[in-house]
Amino acid sequence: MSEVAIDHREKAYELLKSDADKILKLIKVQMDNLTMPQCPLYEEVLDTQMFGLSREIDFAVRLGLVEDHIGRELMDTLERELSALHDAFTNK
């Protein structure tokens, strides 16, 4: 694999990871404040962000810049955090 292709793959992963980290920060802020996760605005923002990231990952996978399992790992991590947020709120 050429250096350019490797560089593009690394850059694609870094961009996806950065977007995932932004969503994770949003989830963490909600967890720290235990703000109601059923808030329509919160749900809309988070759903939009998660959908957008899933589309970015799908696009990168289709281009061959990111392996499918790497993209799934990013989404799975966010989904686990989101589930923890809901659990923390319901156990509050």
Cα distances (angstroms) measured from residue 8 to each of 59, 69, 88, 92: 14, 18, 39, 44
What is the arithmetic mean of pLDDT over 60-86? 91
Kindly report, residue by residue over 33-44, the tens digit of the pLDDT: 765 555 666 777
Amino acid (one-letter) located at 60: A
> pLDDT band at 59, cuts 50/70/90?
very high
In order of start, what are the domains of the chain with their CATH numbers? Answer: 3-18+38-90 (1.10.287.750)
pLDDT of amino acid 3:
82
Is the pTM of the predicted complex or chain greater than 0.75? Answer: yes
At a CB cut-off of 8 Å and minimum separation 6, what does 53 contact? 16, 19, 20, 23, 74, 75, 78
